[in-house]
Structure 1
Amino acid sequence: MPSYPFLKGHGTENDFVLLPDHDGSIHGPLTEDRVRALCDRRAGIGGDGVLRVIRTDVLASTYGDDAEWFMDYRNADGSIAEMCGNGIRVFARHLVDAGLADPALPIPIATRSGLLHVTVAGEAITADLGAPKLLGSSVVSVGDWSWSARHVDMGNPHAVAFVDSLDRHGPVGALLDEPGYDHEVYPQGVNVEFVTRVAERHVAMRVHERGSGETRSCGTGAGAVMVAAAAADAAPRDTPYTVDVPGGRLTVIWTAEDRVLLAGPAVIVAEGSTDL
């Protein structure tokens, strides 16, 4: 296979391989094997997923005419995902850095969960993740431990469980294996967030992402955690929450207009070419 360009970026250390296939002319099919090879941290470039950056008109208007760009996101195991909150912020950072989007205006980006907008203000990048769906309760487990979890739909499924400790030597463990969950509640799998309280309107989380395993951060997961915490706290809308993740810190607001806004850093750290 001939070589083709790639970028490497991350949002609070949730890292991605970006494929700038703007006109759909550079890359062949994104097979599961190819995505796994790109995301392999020892034999490939390494990442929690792959972001293909492509214009919507190349896709025969499958995703509508309201955005120039489509975020084609794949998990590290090659599976297709609806959305990625940190990924869309890294995606926007690439568009601005490459002169493909005006940072003075909200950037519309088409995703499999709908049209979303990202705002770039210097180093801070805010993604409007849309309206959350706060659903019922379920149960998640690690080994012999189990916890009640709140089902939150952020365009992709999340199970949010409040625990006493995130210690890797405690019940939550190393999260090397997929946590147990009810497959009837989550037929397409689920992202599981384990959460502790730090202070008022301040939480910390660890996450096992569907298709990727434990990651250093999850943007839609931080949104789901904030929504579950705000609901439990009966917090008024427009109340900012701080969400600490292993890779840094995010700020999340559930607005009076029923939108979840995720703010934090996103950077491009490398570029090159590959024939993977």
Structure 2
Amino acid sequence: MTFPWLKGHGTENDFVLLPDHDGTVHGTLDPAFVAGLCDRRRGIGADGVMRVIRTAALGEPSDATWFMDYSNADGSVSEMCGNGVRVFALHLLQEGLVPEGEPIVIGTRGGDKTVTPHEDMFSVDMGLPEVRGYSKVSANGRTWEAQDVRTGNPHAVAFVDSLSDAGYLVDQPDFDHSVYPEGVNIEFVQRVDAEHIKLRVHERGSGETRSCGTGACAAVVAHALDRRTSDPLHCRVDVPGGTVWVDWGPSMPLTLTGPAEIVARGEMDWLS
């Protein structure tokens, strides 16, 4: 069966998009199929797959017209992707599936997200974070205390003196499975100043990625809590793939702002 695909990224966190508006092209995404598409040697290569489907066709509880049916690179289902939802919004705009010049509401398993275009940037209302307790994470023979922050996905945020302290992050860092029974994204964060941080992330189901939008949000929340400030932050977050900005203050929703690009498209027969 031939089907259309697109390739896009947000700060080099990259995705395969599968248009399937009425849900008849792919049905429920098979994890092995997703993993094959994401494989960088035997597939297109990506950190995840987003099926572009109408919410009514998927049957998810959402008031949005379009739903981001997102899977990690290993085929596991994820609640939300802050970089991916910007790419998803760009695709909807480029294909004329949503009106220009208006905020775009997109359904996700982490709740409906409103994306506002600003020329070549997109701002996402990420909602309120959920802050929990602390646990431990370990990598490269070292162990750190990590703040538990939920921003659509679960995150364990650890502060390091240098991003190199985490090592190569080829393997999943150790974490407390009793705190994160379904896995966790682990952020290693280096402070630059009050409104500037750097991070690396190991995403559950995908490995180390060049960027993580929900992780950037979680890192800024942990940064603010660690500084014990109640002042709203407009924080620059440098990731290996570029820069995003996060706005947040106590009792305020998180706003994630960053670029999005569609870089390739085509049609294919999946033969694997």
Fold shared per TM-score above 0.5: yes
The letter for the 1-side match of 2:245 is: T
Verify the 8 A CA contact 1:9 1:90 in the aligned structure 2.
yes
Correspondent of 1:217 among 205, 211, 218: 211
Distance in 2 separating the partners of 1:242 and 1:235: 17
The letter for the 2-side match of 1:164 is: D
TM-score of the pair, normalised by structure 1: 0.95
The yes-or-no answer on 1:267 pairing with 2:264 is no
The letter for the 2-side match of 1:40 is: D
Pair 1:237–1:105, CA change in 2 (3 A): farther
Pair 1:41–1:133, CA change in 2 (3 A): same
Q: Tell me what 2:246 maps to.
A: 252
Q: 1:59 offset after TM fit, Å?
A: 2.0
The yes-or-no answer on 1:134 pairing with 2:128 is no
Verify the 8 A CA contact 1:103 1:121 in the aligned structure 2.
no
TM-score of the pair, normalised by structure 2: 0.96
Verify the 8 A CA contact 1:56 1:69 in the aligned structure 2.
yes
The yes-or-no answer on 1:163 pairing with 2:160 is yes
Q: Tell me what 2:72 maps to.
A: 75
Identity of aligned residues (%): 56
The yes-or-no answer on 1:85 pairing with 2:82 is yes
The yes-or-no answer on 1:29 pairing with 2:28 is yes
Q: 1:256 offset after TM fit, Å?
A: 5.8
Pair 1:213–1:105, CA change in 2 (3 A): same
Q: Tell me what 2:41 maps to.
A: 42
Helix, strand or coil: the match of 2:29?
coil
Distance in 2 separating the partners of 1:107 and 1:189: 30
Counting only pairs closer than 5 Å after superposition, residues 94-173 of structure 1 correspond to structure 2 as 94-167=91-164, 171-173=165-167
Q: 1:23 offset after TM fit, Å?
A: 1.8
Cα RMSD (Å) of the superposition?
1.2
Helix, strand or coil: the match of 1:141?
strand
Q: 1:113 offset after TM fit, Å?
A: 1.2
Distance in 1 separating the partners of 2:192 and 2:34: 37
Helix, strand or coil: the match of 2:40?
coil
Structure 1 unaligned runs (5+)? none
Q: 1:236 offset after TM fit, Å?
A: 3.4
Verify the 8 A CA contact 1:159 1:192 in the aligned structure 2.
yes
Q: How many residues align?
A: 270
Q: Tell me what 1:181 maps to.
A: 175
Verify the 8 A CA contact 1:216 1:245 in the aligned structure 2.
yes
Q: 1:235 offset after TM fit, Å?
A: 3.2
Q: 1:257 offset after TM fit, Å?
A: 4.9
Q: 1:237 offset after TM fit, Å?
A: 4.5
The letter for the 2-side match of 1:77 is: D
The letter for the 1-side match of 2:61 is: Y
